[in-house]
Chain A
Amino acid sequence: MTTEVLWWIFAVGVVGTAAGVVLSRTVVHSAIFLILSLAGVGAMYLFLTVEFIALVQFLIYGGAVTVLILLALMLTRMGVAGRPEPVTGAQAPFGALVALALMATLVAVAVATAWPGDLGGSPEAVSIEQIGEALFEHYGAPFIIMAVLLLVAFIGAIAIARQEDGD
């Protein structure tokens, strides 16, 4: 019972902060909402008993990604801080329409479908050993490719953002 109440609190928190991300008028506020929203999703992982993913979520999103985004915001600062500027484009109403339609569809499908093998809300704990086994035994090759991908993206990011002569 306590869990459910807690879950609902967090769920509302995640949705609320996510809405803040896409609706807030200042960029910095958006970034702060994003941090909170990502942390809320991390909490969702804890409810799902996968502590490992939760940990990864906090570390990578809460730490690295957010810092990166804040840094980018500083480097591409628009106007003077505090001065409200139009952050929403002209096609926002259409975007809202499409997003609402999508949301309706997704929610309808999620509720209406009888999911095969559904345990009815009693998740078994997935141990970190299981995840490690799956990651290194069955998905060894993708894991290595992933490492290469990260390296390539790393080098690529440097190459693109580098200050060149004449810039």
Chain B
Amino acid sequence: MAEHAWMLAAVPAFAFVALTATGRHLPRQGDFVAVLTAAAVFALFFAVLASFLGLGDAAWPVLNSIEWTAIGSFELRMGIAVDQITIVMLAVITTVAFMVNVFSVGYMKGEPRYWWYFAVLQLFVASMLMLVLADNLLLLYIAWEVVGLSSFLLIGHYWERRSAVEAAKKAFVTTRVGDVGLLIGIILLWDATGTFNILDIFHAVEAGAVGETRLFVTMMFILLGAMGKSAQVPFHVWLPDAMEGPTPVSALIHAATMVVAGVYLVARLLPLFESAGGALMVITIVGLVTALFSGAVAFAQTDIKKVLAYSTVSQLGFMFVALGAGLVSAGMFHLFTHAFFKALLFLGAGSVIIGTHHHQEMGQLGGLWRKMPVTAATFLIGSLALAGLFPLAGFWSKDEILHAVDAHRGALVFLLISVASIMTAFYTMRLFVRTFLGKPQDEAIASHTRETGAIMTLPLVFLAILSVIAGLAVFHEVGDALGFPGGFGEFVYLHHPEVFHVDWGLAGFSTALFVLGAFAAGWLYRGGRLDRATALAEWQPRLYELLRRKFYFDELYQALIDRVVLGFSYVVSWFDRFAVNDTGVDGSAAMTGYAGFLLKHLQTGRVPNYALAIAAGVVALTLITLAVGG
């Protein structure tokens, strides 16, 4: 079964086609097709997993490919490769996709283009699965772009709203800047090694086919692609705006799966990054800057989804830091746990939005736990998991990252990532306190607030359970019992499997970080009141404004676009208008017309004249041929 894992992608792809063609006319606009597809993929994943584990680690990675085309000596094979990293990604994608599809039935009820929403969701799942299954960079790139396309379509789902259109465009263009880098990187790799196949590239690089400087440059291009997709500074600007899309989409695409594609790419190609001189250090720095920057920005955001968006950017930074330390295990583990609790938080936010009839400003909410107990409880679990409370999922993965940084990156990076951890705890608890605790800020909204139905709360509960237990996968005993070769570190690794041992000192330190952040938030926003926070903001108005405006990144980019891009556009437009259009296009058209006006007098309408011209032409051509050709 593992070698037929392509079926995972084929099923939703087929569902996409079916829903696009018929969804509008099906009963309930075909939402049951989407849910059944997601359930089937979820079930299929376990078949793949069982088969994969049954084959044993000698057979990993499981390969299956077909010849796509052969041009001369160049042969292009397309296929799938299933290894441990792929399995982790598959677990995340299939689980979250299933939950989100179910949740969407409740969330999207009565929304415009209901069927189209589900169709694109299937397209996304298919391409995302293809992305992680691809055994060569070309197929990966194709899937990468289709994923971007579905993200674009879903962000812009409410295209009647101008802001949604702008956000979709922004996401598409920003990630495209990175994607061009990725494409250049892939071409450079192909140029140096003659293959797109990832394993073959590894072997070629190991054999020294690529010089170190060249490899470094190549990997920097590929890193650009990863940074664009994973919203690392300075490409992060699209992700918070992407919250214009329906909230379940934010949970699936902009928290759990698509945005970690960059992390996945780096993890997948980590051997190349290792060989490429200081590339790992670059990854660490990018991740660290992102984690600190967006953690700080999250302090001052008032929209629930924006806070979660910046939190996601920050956590992606954590993953980059872990990968930059050279540890696939820690990075992928955080990706794994983060997917569950961040999807939970987003779906919780979605539940709040539906329960309060489309309100997502913290300033208008508050005290929701009385009205929405299930949502509040699951949201609390998600928040604590994100903040890193022992023994929830986030605690173990963050611990792994701290451990990895401590061992491989030295004190400064460790200190900074600790600060980022405190920030995480702070903004997470701030979000929870202001939304669910204290008194309602707006009685009119509060009086209409209702808990959402089971179709929405059941996915929340399921994800909450996962958020509690997913972290336990790190233990050797747990993995063993489930049929894995030990814990997470013994399953996913680059060079050597690592057995996990609890480091109580580090665990204590990590808990202290959590307590520090959480209590700061609790003190500042005690009982949901804002007086202390307001005082703090007034004490340092400039700093507050800097955070609220997200370090002026959008303004900076806008200015750049206005000055540089538009200025260049004027020149191009002038050239197009006068040189290309007036002289080239219109000029040649006018010339043709004028020539026709003159030459039409040759047309006598008398057939013998034409025959004479033909005969004379034949003679002339014959003589020319004789004279020239001999």
Contacts and interface: CB of A to CB of B under 8 A. Distances in A.
A98 B616 contact: yes
B612 A91 contact: yes
Interface residues on A, range: 10 to 19
A91 B609 contact: yes
15 contacts: A89-B608, A91-B612, A94-B612, A95-B615, A98-B612, A98-B619, A99-B615, A101-B619, A102-B618, A102-B619, A105-B619, A105-B622, A105-B623, A109-B622, A109-B626
Contacts of A102: 615, 618-619
A28 to B, nearest CB: 22
Interface string A108-145: 01000000000000000000000000000000000000
B608 A91 contact: yes
Contacts of B619: 98, 101-102, 105
Interface string B610-628: 0010011011001100100
Interface residues of B, number: 10
A29 B619 CA distance: 30
B615 A98 contact: yes
A91 B612 CA distance: 8
B152 to A, nearest CB: 55
Interface of B is mostly: helix
B623 to A, nearest CB: 7
A-B pairs, top 9 by smallest CB distance, nearest first, are: A101-B619, A98-B615, A98-B616, A102-B619, A105-B622, A91-B612, A94-B612, A89-B608, A91-B608
Interface of B: 608-609, 612, 615-616, 618-619, 622-623, 626
B612 A95 contact: yes
Contacts, number: 23
Contacts of B608: 89, 91, 95
Nearest to A106: B622
A94 B614 CA distance: 13
Given A91-B609, A95-B615, A98-B612, 19 more contacts: A89-B608, A91-B608, A91-B612, A94-B612, A95-B608, A95-B612, A98-B615, A98-B616, A99-B615, A101-B619, A102-B615, A102-B618, A102-B619, A105-B619, A105-B622, A105-B623, A105-B626, A109-B622, A109-B626
A132 B430 CA distance: 100
Contacts of B616: 98
A101 B609 CA distance: 17
Nearest to A95: B612
Contacts of B623: 105
A94 B608 CA distance: 11
Interface string A75-107: 000000000000001010011001101100100
A106 B612 CA distance: 18
A98 B608 CA distance: 13
Nearest to B622: A105
A58 to B, nearest CB: 30
B443 to A, nearest CB: 90
Tell me which of A98, A102, A105 has the highest count of chain B C-beta atoms within 10 A of its own C-beta: A98
Contacts of A89: 608
Nearest to B617: A98
A158 to B, nearest CB: 24
Nearest to A97: B616
Contacts of B612: 91, 94-95, 98
A98 B616 CA distance: 6
B610 to A, nearest CB: 11
A99 B611 CA distance: 12
A116 to B, nearest CB: 16
A121 B114 CA distance: 88
A102 to B, nearest CB: 5
Nearest to A90: B608
A152 B618 CA distance: 31
A95 B619 CA distance: 12
Contacts of A95: 608, 612, 615
A102 B622 CA distance: 9
A91 B609 CA distance: 8
B627 to A, nearest CB: 11
B626 to A, nearest CB: 7
A109 B629 CA distance: 13
Contacts of A98: 612, 615-616, 619
A98 B623 CA distance: 12
B614 to A, nearest CB: 10
A164 B626 CA distance: 52
Contacts of B626: 105, 109
A88 B619 CA distance: 22
A90 to B, nearest CB: 9
A146 to B, nearest CB: 26
Nearest to B615: A98
B629 to A, nearest CB: 12
A116 B615 CA distance: 28
Interface string A6-32: 000000000000000000000000000
A141 B619 CA distance: 34
Contacts of B609: 91
A98 B619 CA distance: 7
Nearest to B613: A98
